[in-house]
């Protein structure tokens, strides 16, 4: 049986071949065909193991297809198609290639059947995603991209160290459930948590994502954090600490989102909050919690992708992203306003939208565990979500008066992508079985019960009433809210100052010192007589100064040479000594016991001859030169 083509390599190789196409329309069609081909390949594969290759002593499994990997792969392919459609107008081949390689490497992570394959795709994903930030081509984007790379390089090192330690401890490199008590699993978990943006390891996300390109942030939102959720489910299901970390990050992300004045920074913080629900579900470990985390990851790439697409359309149309510079956009961009509200209602968990089919599932799992603290934290995060996304952004960006912005309407492909995702959000909200049917665990859940619907509507109405009473909490602040990046931004600035000032000055002084040494060594080799005379003057200064020829030669770099050349003479002398020594050493077999005496006698004689030659060439002329100069000075 011929194995199908790996979906990851359809994207990776397809992206690399993209620059070979010259026609723009052909490139656009080609980009949309890639996810379709990958989807067809995935759909044709039953559960099993594919693409196994031998590498030295290891058997790499590039394709493990089961219910868990399939649902994440479906989510990635859906958002990849929508994101590529959204960015069809981008003409930079490098940007599109990076996006394809990023999507392909994320699929490689999902299908990895061993830790080595996982690590390879993990690193490709980090490098490819960074280019979606660099292609913004602003100073802020370059700085954020470099910080992003450094953080993920650290995460990759942690993951690699953990994998090596785990293989040494167990002898296994299969990627299945990992025992937290085995050496190396802590570092593997740490690498996963960095990509999941779990506080305090999260500051890279709100730092880098808002600086990405308008289309690049859609890919960034979908793959890095969601692939981290996947590997946590695969490797650390039921680890209790994840439940607490997830609940706290759900609240943490909402709180910091409320403080933001930039629309994409707000949505970036809210990615942290939504991933918190998923991480908490992984920590709970029950089937309904795991299904809730997976379903919420699937829904999140849809409604969060829609929200970021609408935000990108606003930035494309106005060139602005700060709420203090926006307002009244519902008049100029009514369709974008409607589509944004679909995403906002979806992420807020309003009935009839897809968020309602997944978020309450995780909260129900917390209720079944009778953990009131976790349940309260998740409910509080839900209140903050509706306040932040459903009320604050529409009020600040779309309502009110327009500050005289010049609007250029987004291209048709951006609108089509937003419309397609909006339709999926509504479809899953109306018919949740379309999503529940592909979930991997056997846990029945019915979202549309009277209790669920009434409870969610009451919560949303209470939030709306509270926002009307405390309207000032959604008014934007122009200040920048510092996060945990404070702990590496300030030391980073200090390090840069130290390198660019004291270290740079010291380096230049050291370089100048050695340059001076080099210059005078060259001058000495070219002017041995004059340099020797100056040396004698330093040893016996007396009451006179060699202020004529010697000092003039030093200042004017006048060159004095012996007839045959001093450097040539020295080279010949030392070469002769070296040759004679090895000739004598080679005669040891003939001289026997007399060899040491003969060797030292000959070698000593050669050294005496060399010393005599050196004296005649340097010392005698130098002394003579010094005497002549001294007599001239005394006569004067």
CA dihedral 20, 25, 29, 30 (to 10 degrees): 0
Residue 50, helix vs strand vs coil: strand
**Are 397 and 323 in contact, with CB atoms under 8 Å apart?**
yes
- Give the pLDDT score at 103: 96
CA distances from 107 to 7, 28, 81, 225, 374 (A): 7, 22, 13, 13, 32
Least confident of 112-126, 168-182, 307-321, 463-477: 463-477
Asked whether residue 346 carries a pLDDT value surpassing 70, the answer given is yes
- Give the pLDDT score at 74: 95
Residue from 222, 191, 177, 287 nearest 83 by CA: 222
Categorize the per-residue pLDDT at 165 as very low, low, confident or very high, splitting at 50, 70 and 90.
very high
Q: Using H for helix, E for strand and C for coil, what is the string for 174-235? A: ECCCCCCCCCCHHHHHHHHHHHHCCCCCCCHHHHHHHHCCCCHHHHHHHHHHHHHHHHHHHH
Phi, psi for 234 (deg, rounded to 5):
-70, -40
Residue from 231, 376, 217 nearest 294 by CA: 231
- Give the pLDDT score at 560: 46
Mean pLDDT, the chain, integer: 82
- Give the pLDDT score at 243: 95
- Give the pLDDT score at 463: 77
Q: Extract the tokens encoding 578.
A: 């070296």
Count of other CB atoms within 10 angstroms of residue 332: 17
Long-range CB pairs of 534-543, under 8 A, 24+ apart, other chains included = 535/622, 536/622, 536/623, 536/626, 537/626, 542/630
Q: What confidence tens digit (pLDDT) does each residue in 596-605 have?
A: 666 666 667 6
Q: What confidence tens digit (pLDDT) does each residue in 95-105 have?
A: 999 999 999 99
pTM confidence score: 0.77
Higher pLDDT, 185 or 557: 185
d(CA 65, CA 432): 24
How confident is the model over 80-91, as a mean pLDDT? 94
- Give the pLDDT score at 543: 41
Residue from 8, 12, 80 nearest 51 by CA: 8
Residue 463, helix vs strand vs coil: helix
Q: Extract the tokens encoding 322.
A: 């700060």
Q: Extract the tokens encoding 144.
A: 């954020």
* 30: Cβ contacts below 8 Å, ≥ 6 apart: 14, 18, 21
How confident is the model over 490-514, as a mean pLDDT? 70
Asked whether residue 106 carries a pLDDT value surpassing 70, the answer given is yes
Categorize the per-residue pLDDT at 154 as very low, low, confident or very high, splitting at 50, 70 and 90.
very high
Asked whether residue 189 carries a pLDDT value surpassing 90, the answer given is yes
Domain ranges of the chain: 1-227, 237-478, 485-524, 527-635
Residue from 72, 387, 83 nearest 214 by CA: 83
How confident is the model over 422-450, as a mean pLDDT? 91
Categorize the per-residue pLDDT at 326 as very low, low, confident or very high, splitting at 50, 70 and 90.
confident
């Amino acid at each position: 049986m011929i194995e199908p083509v790996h979906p990851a390599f359809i994207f990776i190789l397809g992206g690399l071949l993209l620059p070979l196409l010259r026609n723009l329309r052909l490139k656009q069609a080609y980009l949309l065909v890639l996810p379709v081909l990958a989807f067809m390949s995935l759909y044709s594969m039953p559960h099993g193991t594919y693409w196994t290759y031998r590498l030295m002593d290891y058997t790499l499994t590039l394709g493990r297809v089961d219910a868990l990997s399939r649902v994440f792969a479906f989510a990635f392919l859906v958002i990849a198609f929508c994101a590529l459609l959204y960015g069809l107008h981008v003409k930079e081949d490098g940007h599109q290639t990076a996006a394809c390689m990023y999507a392909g490497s994320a699929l490689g992570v999902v299908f990895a059947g061993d830790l080595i394959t996982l690590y390879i795709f993990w690193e490709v994903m980090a490098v490819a995603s960074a280019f979606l930030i660099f292609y913004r081509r602003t100073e802020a984007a370059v700085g954020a991209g470099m910080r992003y790379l450094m953080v993920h390089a650290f995460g990759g090192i942690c993951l690699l160290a953990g994998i090596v330690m785990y293989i040494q401890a167990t002898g296994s490199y299969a990627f299945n459930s990992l025992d937290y008590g085995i050496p190396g699993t802590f570092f593997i978990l740490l690498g996963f948590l960095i990509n999941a943006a779990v506080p305090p390891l999260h500051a890279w996300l709100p730092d880098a994502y808002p600086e990405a390109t308008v289309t690049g942030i859609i890919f960034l939102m979908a793959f890095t954090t969601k692939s981290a959720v996947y590997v946590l489910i695969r490797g650390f299901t039921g680890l209790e600490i994840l439940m607490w970390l997830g609940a706290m990050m759900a609240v943490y992300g909402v709180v910091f989102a409320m403080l933001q004045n930039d629309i994409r920074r707000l949505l970036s913080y809210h990615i942290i909050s939504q991933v918190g629900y998923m991480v908490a579900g992984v920590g709970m470990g029950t089937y309904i919690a795991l299904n809730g985390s997976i379903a919420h990851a699937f829904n999140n790439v849809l409604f969060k992708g829609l929200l970021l697409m609408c935000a990108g359309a606003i930035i494309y149309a106005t060139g602005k992203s700060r709420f203090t510079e926006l307002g009244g956009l519902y008049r100029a961009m009514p369709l974008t306003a409607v589509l944004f509200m679909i995403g906002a209602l979806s992420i807020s968990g309003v009935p009839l939208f897809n968020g309602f089919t997944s978020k309450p599932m995780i909260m129900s799992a917390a209720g079944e565990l009778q953990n009131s603290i976790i349940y309260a934290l998740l409910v509080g995060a839900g209140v903050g979500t509706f306040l932040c996304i459903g009320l604050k952004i529409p009020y600040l960006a779309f309502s009110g008066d327009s500050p005289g912005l010049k609007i250029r309407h987004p291209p048709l492909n951006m609108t089509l992508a937003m419309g397609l995702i909006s339709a999926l959000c509504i479809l899953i909200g109306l018919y949740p079985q379309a999503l529940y049917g592909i979930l991997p665990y056997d846990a029945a859940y019915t979202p549309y019960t009277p209790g669920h619907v009434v409870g969610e509507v009451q919560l949303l109405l209470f939030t709306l009433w509270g926002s009307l009473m405390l309207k000032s909490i959604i008014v934007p602040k122009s200040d920048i809210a510092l996060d945990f990046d404070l702990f590496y931004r300030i030391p980073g600035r200090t390090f840069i100052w130290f390198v660019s000032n004291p270290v740079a000055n010291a380096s230049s002084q050291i370089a100048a010192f050695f340059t001076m040494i080099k210059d005078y060594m060259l001058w000495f080799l070219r002017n041995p007589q004059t340099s020797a005379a100056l040396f004698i003057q330093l040893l016996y200064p007396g009451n006179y100064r060699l202020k004529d020829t010697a000092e003039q030669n030093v200042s004017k770099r006048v060159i004095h040479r012996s007839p045959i050349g001093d450097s040539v003479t020295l080279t010949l002398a030392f070469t002769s000594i070296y040759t004679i020594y090895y000739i004598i050493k080679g005669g040891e077999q003939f001289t026997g016991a007399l060899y040491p005496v003969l060797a030292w006698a000959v070698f000593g004689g050669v050294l005496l001859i060399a010393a005599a030659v050196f004296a005649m060439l340097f010392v005698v002329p130098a002394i003579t030169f010094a005497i002549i100069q001294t007599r001239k000075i005394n006569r004067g």
